[in-house]
Structure 1
Amino acid sequence: MSSEPMDIDTNNVSAEEIKNQANQEYKAGHYADAIRLYTQAIAASPSTATYYSNRAAALTMIKKYKEAADDCRMATNLDPDNVKAYLRAGKCHMNLGNLDEASRQYQIALSKDAGNAQAKRDVYNLQQLGNYVGQAEMFMKNKQWGLAVNSLDRALSFVDSDAVPFTWRLWRAECNLGQKNYSEANRLANELVRMDSQNPDALFLRAKVLYMQGDNAKSVAHCQESLRCDPDYAKARVLLKKAKAMEAQKEAGNTAFKAGRLQEAYDLYSSALEIDPENEGTNAKLYSNRAAVLQKQKKYQDALADCNKALELDSTFTKVYSRRAACYMELEEYEDAVRDYKQLSDAEPGNREYHNLLRKAELELKKSQRKDYYKILGLGKDASDSEIKKAYRKLALQYHPDKNAGDEKAEARFKEIGEAYAILSDPQKKQRFDSGVDLDGGMGGGGFDGANWLMKKHYKFFEAFAFLFIFALSFICKTISPFDQHSERHL
């Protein structure tokens, strides 16, 4: 590492001597020191083209291509036959993305020295670069984002990867947005805005990323900033209008939902979904919100459909998994509910609510896999005592052995109905059945082993009791006409 160079007294040292010292620093890789010395040489002799050309070479090494291109222009103005300066200018303009100007500089160099091998290589590379850039533009126009990225990557192989032209950075961000790689598009857009906070293209791209992620309020702000920088920016004006419309419609739907005006909320969310089918972020929220309306209306199948649409648009939308699981629970599709609650619990291991919901769903799944006494009686799980009794009487009469002589299936059904009624008509047994304590593992898999043993023992006792009860009931019914009103009243 060189020590910080002292400014040379140009009164005692010639410009050429300063240039020679600068050349030594350049060869040693001390480009900043070389640039300082070349600057002193230029100050001592501002009409010497070589000093500008040499400083351009040093500036190129530290990736200051614009300043280097300016020095090359000064060098060629002072010395129109300086082929090195034209070649350096061509390289600078390639790295700046100014392909037409790079081509012009190389052509001048060849006109001065037709056999220059370096110039021929640079022209060939420039042609390749131009082809890939043209392909990238065509693919982007056709929304073939993967092909566009491939062509852009090939183009970037010809320039300095640490100093990619601003326009090409914009293209890369736009391709990521087109591929729905929102996190990377967001990172690149933020980077571009930091590089140039007054660039309308960068501000518009940032607005578009926010819009696609469903953050309409911030998208509106960036569109407005883009239009402030360029009032004639048509794309920003169109996006601004859409973002405002979608946000207004969504908020109106939210207001109606909170006020309990469910049909109005449903209609507002549906209208908002028609504004822009490509706005995946907001549309995912709209489908989720509409699912909440349908859930309130107990239209669980329709709510599930909207939850699925929301997740198709945004698979990371946590709230939708919770909402979908709740719909599965209402529809008694417990395996699906367990799957969604498990995904939520795995994603947020510290969330106690998700853990409890998962345990509840697992318990309901276990309960659904045993004999369902409510279904046997054709009832819902919220049936009242009178509804249980009424259903039992009706079914017992329908499947009574005296009415179905010789029908083994009817007899089995009659026994099953009696078993169901014996459980559901007894408050303690019903409570145990409803809570799931009769399942192996107790309440959802935990529980006390001694309590489990008692539950199992009691359940076996009940089975014996149920058999005796059905036998006695059958005996009584045989001595009484099944069509007698008194008999029916007892059933």
Structure 2
Amino acid sequence: MSSEPMDIDTNNVSAEEIKNQANQEYKAGHYADAIRLYTQAIAASPSTATYYSNRAAALTMIKKYKEAADDCRMATNLDPENVKAYLRAGKCHMNLGNLEEASRQYQIVLSKDAGNAQAKRDIYNLHQLGNYVGQAEMFMKNKQWGLAVNSLDRALSFVDSDAVPFTWRLWRAECNLGQKNYSEANRLANELVRMDSQNPDALFLRAKVLYMQGDNAKAIAHCQESLRCDPDYSKARVLLKKAKAMEAQKEAGNAAFKAGRLQEAYDLYSSALEIDQENEGTNAKLYSNRAAVLQKQKKYQDALADCNKALELDSSFTKVYSRRAACYMELEEYEDAVRDYKQLSEAEPGNREYHNLLRKAELELKKSQRKDYYKILGVGKDASDSEIKKAYRKLALQYHPDKNAGDEKAEARFKEIGEAYAILSDPQKKQRFDSGVDLDGGMGGGGFDGANVDINDVFAQMFGGGGGGGFPGGGGYQQQQRRGPPGYSTSGGYTFHFG
């Protein structure tokens, strides 16, 4: 590496000698050193066009295209016949995205040298670049974001990839936002704000990304900053109004929910959802919040619908999976609940609550796949002893074999009803059934086996079993069972007449 050059004493060395030394540094690839020397030559002879043109060449090599374009302008002002300066200016303006100015510079070259091969090649590339830029703008206008990105990528192949024009960077970020690639849009927007923290376009784009992600508070702050830089920036003003309105409605809904004013909260969330259907981040939260209201109101199907809408807008919204799973549990849709709790447990392996909820859902799923004695008797899981007894009495009389002679379905139903009552009327068996002990071989290892239940005893306990005290009306089922008359068959501990 070369040592840093000393400033030359221009009183003893001519500007031309300084320029020659700068040329040597340029050829050696020491562009910063060359620029410093060209600057000294300019100071010694500020009206020499070549010095500006040469410095522009060195500035171009370190990608300082704006400064290089300024030097080219100085060179052509001093020497209107300096073709090299026009060519360099054209290249600089291409890389700056100033396509019309680049074209003008190349046309000047051709007007002075019609056969200039370099100018012809550059004009061809410029036309290609202009076509792709035009396509990108058209596709963005039509919200065809994928096509816009493709055209923009083709355009960028004609310019310096390390010095992409600011406007085109904005476009790329906007395309990512349009494609709902929020993480990349957020990265690009942050990068643009770092490059120019006073640029209203960059600040507005950052506000829009935040807005779409549901962070209205930060979106509001960025809109206000954009308007501070440009008070007439109408897009920022419109977005600011929407963000404020949505945030105010959402917060009012949250306050109503916390105060227990559920219908008011529901109405506020619904009103907020009507403000801007494109604000997916906030709308996902609003649907989730409204689902919480419906869940409190025990409107589980409606709550599920809102959870699904929230997840359509934001599939990574963890809280919604938890809320939806809870609704599935209430609706006894255990397979769906297990699926959601599994997803939560995989997303947050260290969350013990999710693991516990998953185990509970898996247990309920297993329980749901065995006989449901509550459903057999047509009672809820919170039914009292008297409600269970009443349900059994009604169904046992309805399906008793003496009333359904020859009906095998009624016979099976009668047995099932007795089995259910035998379990649910016994506090210990009921507790074991409710807790799912039978799924792990409870009841002494044999689970709840209907074959071990004597339906005669169950019926006799309910209706009385002495003498003619079987099926109401005398004689009947109990009495005939004890006699064991011809034509009766023993099945599952009791007899039925098959005619």
1:290 CA displacement: 0.6
Change (3 A) 1:139 1:253: same
Q: Is the 8 A contact 2:242 2:275 kept in 1?
A: yes
- 1:460 is aligned to none
Listed as ranges, the matches of 1:87-98 within 5 Å are 87-98=87-98
How far is 1:181 from its partner? 0.6
> What is residue 481 of structure 1 aligned with on the other side?
492
| TM-aligned CA distance change 1:338 to 1:204, over 3 Å | same
CA distance in structure 2 between the partners assigned to 1:36 and 1:249 by the alignment: 60
Contact 2:21–2:37 (8 Å) recurs in 1: yes
Secondary structure in structure 1 of the residue aligned to 2:90: helix
Rate the CA distance shift 1:297–1:15 in 2: closer, same or farther, 3 A: same
Contact 2:310-2:320 at 8 Å conserved across structures: yes
Distance 1:130 1:400, change over 3 A: same
**How far apart are the structure 1 equivalents of 2:138 and 2:444?**
59
Distance 1:182 1:481, change over 3 A: closer
| Runs of 4+ more than 2 Å apart | 440-452, 470-475, 478-486
1:385 aligns with 2:375: no
Shift of 1:447: 15
Against the structure 1 CA distance between its residues 447 and 193, is the aligned structure 2 distance closer, same or farther, given a 3 Å change threshold?
farther
Shift in alpha-carbon separation, 1:448–1:56, aligned structure 2, 3 A? farther
Distance 1:192 1:400 in 2: 81
Using the TM superposition, give the Cα deviation of residue 48 of structure 1 relative to its aligned residue in structure 2, in angstroms.
1.2
Contact kept? 1:76, 1:86, Cα under 8 Å: yes
Distance 1:448 1:98, change over 3 A: farther
Question: Structure 2-normalised TM-score?
Answer: 0.89
Given that 1:94 and 1:126 are in contact with CA atoms closer than 8 Å, whether structure 2 keeps it comes out as: yes
Q: Kindly tell me: are residues 480 and 191 of structure 1, through their superposed partners in 2, closer, same or farther at Cα, counting changes over 3 Å?
A: closer
Q: Displacement of 1:381 after TM fit?
A: 1.4
TM superposition shift of 1:11: 2.1
Write the deviation string for residues 35-93 of structure 1: whole angstroms up to 9, x where unpaired. 11111111122111111111100000000001101111111111110000000001111
Write the deviation string for residues 190-236 of structure 1: whole angstroms up to 9, x where unpaired. 11111111111111111111111111111111111111111111111
Distance change in 2, residues 1:366/1:481 (3 Å): closer
Matches within 5 A, 1:81-480: 81-440=81-440
Deviation at 1:442, TM superposition (A): 7.7
Change beyond 3 A, Cα 1:441–1:395: closer
The answer on whether the counterparts of 1:53 and 1:72 sit within 8 Å (CA) in structure 2 is yes
State the 1:157 CA deviation.
Answer: 0.6
Shift of 1:12: 2.2
Summarize deviations over 1:262-318 as a string: whole Å, max 9, x none.
111111111111111111011101100110111011111111000000000000000
SS in 1 for 2:403: coil
Structure 2 CA distance for partners of 1:345 and 1:231, relative to 1, 3 Å: same
Query: Aligned pair in 2 of structure 1 residues 70, 40: CA closer, same or farther (>3 Å)?
Result: same
- Whether the 8 Å contact between 1:292 and 1:323 is mirrored in structure 2 is yes
SS in 2 for 1:484: strand
Kindly state the Cα deviation for residue 380 of structure 1 after the two structures are TM-superposed: 1.6
Q: CA distance change for structure 1 residues 441 and 115 in 2, over 3 Å: closer, same or farther?
A: farther
Secondary structure in 2 matching 1:438: helix
**Distance in 2, Cα, partners of 1:253 & 1:64:** 53
For residues 358 and 111 of structure 1, the distance between their equivalents in structure 2, rounded to whole angstroms, comes to 78
Counterpart-to-counterpart distance in 2, 1:355 and 1:195: 45
Aligned residue in 2 for 1:463: none
How far the C-alpha of 1:445 sits from its partner, in A, is 15
Residues 86, 108 of structure 1: 8 Å contact kept: yes
Task: Report if the CA contact (8 A) 2:87-2:106 is conserved.
Answer: yes
1:405 CA drift (Å): 1.5
Decide whether aligned partners of structure 1 residues 76 and 447 sit closer, same or farther in structure 2, where only a CA change above 3 A counts: farther
Change (3 A) 1:295 1:84: same
Classify 1:447/1:428 alpha carbon distance in 2 versus 1 (closer, same or farther; 3 Å). closer
Q: Give me the whole-angstrom Cα distance separating, in 2, the residues matched to 1:451 and 1:396.
A: 18
Q: Taking structure 1 as reference, are residues 314 and 337 closer, same or farther at Cα in structure 2, changes over 3 Å only?
A: same
1:485 alignment partner, SS class: strand
Of 296-305 and 374-383, more deviation after overlay is shown by 374-383
Q: How far apart are the structure 1 equivalents of 2:3 and 2:491?
A: 118
In structure 1, C-alpha distance between the alignment counterparts of 2:50 and 2:158, rounded to whole Å: 27
Alpha-carbon distance change, 7 to 439 in structure 1, aligned in 2, over 3 angstroms: same
- The change in CA–CA distance for 1:393 and 1:320 in structure 2 (over 3 A counts) is same
Counterparts of 2:11 and 2:367, CA distance in 1: 99
SS of corresponding position for 1:479: strand
Q: CA, structure 1 residues 415+443, in 2 after alignment: closer, same or farther (shift >3 Å)?
A: closer
Query: In the TM superposition, what whole-angstrom CA distance separates every residue of 1:301-339 from its partner, at most 9, and x where no partner exists?
Result: 111000000000000000000000000000000000000
Cα distance 1:480–1:326, how it changes in 2: closer, same or farther (>3 A)?
A: closer
- Ranges in structure 1 where 5+ consecutive residues have no aligned partner: 453-469, 487-491
Asked if structure 1 preserves the Cα contact closer than 8 Å seen for 2:401 and 2:496, the reply is no
Tell whether the 8 Å contact from 1:402 to 1:482 is kept in structure 2 after alignment: no
C-alpha contact (below 8 Å) 1:52/1:75 kept by paired residues: yes
Q: Displacement of 1:440 after TM fit?
A: 3.1
Alpha-carbon distance in 1 for matches of 2:492, 2:442: 44
Residues of 2 paired with 1:406 and 1:280: CA distance? Answer: 63
CA distance in 1, matches of 2:56, 2:491: 116
Q: How far is 1:394 from its partner? A: 1.1
Going from structure 1 to structure 2, the CA distance change for 1:229 and 1:415 (only over 3 Å counts) comes to same
- CA distance in 2 between partners of 1:237 and 1:47 (Å): 49
**Contact 1:363–1:444, Cα closer than 8 Å, also in 2:** no
Supply the RMSD in Å over aligned alpha carbons: 4.1
The whole-number CA distance in structure 2 between the counterparts of 1:248 and 1:19 is: 65
Cα-to-partner distance string for 1:242-280 (whole Å, 9 max, x where unaligned): 111111111111111111111111111111111111110
Shift, 1:4, TM fit: 1.4
Residues 435 and 443 in structure 1, CA contact (< 8 A), matched pair in contact too:
no
In the alignment, is the contact (CA less than 8 A) between 2:419 and 2:450 conserved in 1? no
CA contact (8 A) 1:257 1:293 kept: yes
Aligned residues: 467
Pick closer, same or farther for the CA change 1:474–1:250 going to 2, 3 Å: closer
Asked if the contact 2:65–2:92 (Cα under 8 Å) also holds between the matched residues in 1, the reply is yes
Listed as ranges, the gaps of 5+ residues in structure 2 are 453-457, 464-488
Give yes or no for contact 1:16–1:41 (8 Å, CA) kept in 2: yes
Distance 1:158 1:411, change over 3 A: same
User: Deviation digits for residues 134-164 of structure 1, max 9, x if unmatched?
Assistant: 1111111111111111111111111111111
State the SS of the aligned residue for 2:298. Answer: coil
CA contact (8 A) 1:136 1:148 kept: yes
Larger mean CA deviation between 238-247 and 399-408 belongs to 399-408
- Residues 359, 444 of structure 1: 8 Å contact kept: no
